[in-house]
Chain A
Amino acid sequence: MALSGIAIYKLLPKTNCKDCGFPTCLAFAMKLSQQGIKLSACPHVSEESKQALDASARPPIQLVTVGTGERAFSVGNEVVMFRHEKTFYNPTALAVRVKTSQSREAIAATVAAVDAYSVERVGIHMRLNAIAIDDAKGDPAAFASCVEQVSSITKMPLILISKDPRVMEAGLSKVAGRRSLIYAANSENVAQMAALAAKHGSPLAVQGDGLSQVAEVVEQANKAGVEELVLDPGARGFGNTLNTFTQIRRLALKSKERLVGYPVIAFPGEGSISPEEEALLASQLVIKYAGIVVLDHFAPHHAYPMLTLRQNIYTDPQKPIQVEPGVYPIRDPGRDSPVLVTTNFSLTYFSVAGEVDGSGMPAWLVICDTDGLSVLTSWAAGKFDGAKIAKTVTTHEVGSRVDHRFLLIPGHVAVLSGEIEEELPGWSVLVGPREGIDIPGYLKNVWTARLQGAKK
């Protein structure tokens, strides 16, 4: 936890020399406590004070970065138990595990599929984050060759799994500089594993049976100078992980317990009876406090809901994801193309845009500013009404883009028809279907017929 201004002041030289640009040491300390500036701005601070201040600047849950480059990910640095208290910051990283006991072809296929997997939702591309390589054979050469194979296929961060420091060393040597996560140090091998982590600049997972044992290994790893740690307290299954991970988060945030102030890693496949159960547990882990989840199965029909859940839970509760209001052309529309009206809630916009695009028919989408609320929500809140729609249509000169005068509105707000026609003389309102899924059918049949009718 950050120190108070007074506590910081006590660690400064107290000479008021002004070299930091502040009139007094106290003024500097106050600013520092608000985290607006860096300690290095004071050239005179002692080494001891520096260490004390560095340690106190560490967040209650350490931020840990795995991998390098574009696909590196960071976990930890969470500050609340519940997302409504502020927000959750660093989304749970999802990894898929391969094992050295699998055939090279099977491994290549899984890694390539996971690497390529990317699915879009509300304009955001969602991906899986890492590959875990499990030393199922206990053989350094086999592990090294597997790590080499995987790293030649993907630039995703790697999690190297072995309890044997010799095996780990063999694997690490193939991916030097890639900040692979070492899994795991335990009470037997912590000295060697911590040395490997220090040598390779890798984050280190710490494994133990229960919180006390984990804390003990953490203490030893810290003594060896390794600070970027991830915890596996041995919990498996729905009930055990929920209770244990809640305790860890609470200890870190409420008790400021440094020894468990690290992100947590989980293995939902261990103990699950099916890939479906594994996927469901993984979803619980996304919600309840896992930093990294290592899956034993990859299937798109499970990855997509899991990534959607992660997007939902890690959205800032204060800010719905919105799009800019205006007129959006879809598929190069012309003067005969339909005009659809909707709101600027991202989810609404992308649902409708997706359906219109999928219909194959070019169209104009008129997006009203509803403060990022959905159709019914903004209607109920009085932010999506005849006047708002009319104003948007007029401001963006929709009439100059088309020859017809039809506005298509969402079925859920059919009651707005009259109001809109009153506000927009010359325009006729068409009430579309309620759900986006029915838009293509509507455009092909009803809209086309109405346009033909109007032309005659």
Chain B
Amino acid sequence: MSLSVSINQSIDAFSLNVKFDAPVGLTALFGPSGSGKTTLVNSVAGLSRGCVGRIAVDDWILQDSDLGIWLPPQKRQLGYVFQEGRLFPHLTVRQNLLFGQWFAKGRPPIVKFTDVVEMLGIGALLSRRPSLLSGGEKQRVAIGRALLAAPKLILADEPLAALDEARKGEIIPYFECLRDEINVPILYVSHSIAEVARLATTVVALNGGQLTQVGPAVDVLGDPKFIPVGVRAVGAVLDVTVVAHHSDGLTELDAAGSPLFIPQISQEPGRVMRVRIAAHDVILSCDEPKGLSALNILHGIIEAVRSGDGPGAIVSIRTPAGTVLARVTRRSSIALGLSEGVSCYAVIKTVAIAPQDAGG
């Protein structure tokens, strides 16, 4: 199943103009606030009218202006997880969960009630009212409610934004689980690069209502042109496997044959996960570095050097582990003769891979 969106929408002076395909998995709508992410997701949901174009999940047409089709939200077969949960305060958790399922009668469920309850760990909450739940519990119930509506498409509008860091860490694994287990496209709005790096299969980057980039997450996040929220946010994402936990407090990871060491994490050996390496935590060296305290050194070939108006430049290096980004000054970029095709070493400080970036 795949979501295809091709729409134009004008609200006052703002105009949204997008065209992309979102395959199964989690498609992150990423961009700064005011870039049109929520407008876009609400257009897909049918909650905001006045958008022209076509929105479809495979042959299930939600809207097609040429054919004169516009389904109201209740007919779109959605599961929408809102930022604030929006649980019904007068219903119990069980009744909330069953609300969408009741209206989805006659459609095959994508998950069973008991499985949802077990997966989200909300069995003990079923008879409670939402006002007695914590923020994280509310979001878990909201996810369950969306899943049980037998959706053809799951929408999530910054579902973690209202939660504190600890609660975010509690909810993220559920979205990973949805991404990996459920055969329904997920459109996920976020302005957090860490969330996108950890969750996204596909990234749709927006700025000022226009698409800036679309593609598989690993490609988009590793592309030096991908600077939607300033240079500091730039970083590469690598797929890694946990190899072993060493007695000196380090965990060894395998990134396509290259070892990486990070402070000990709780994930079991054999677990596949992602790490994000921020560009400003990478140092470049033309010669093989010796006598450095950094443990992680990747050899590679420079793919591109991109500099803007400021003093900095972003260098992308293709290494066996994947594409790594480094932020250097333009001065050192010229001094080292960094240009496309040059061989160099990317030095990554061990501590640069923060545990919160090392998503499980």
A and B are partners in one complex rather than unrelated chains = no
Chain A positions within 8 Å of B, measured between CB atoms, are: none
Residues of B within 8 A of A (CB): none
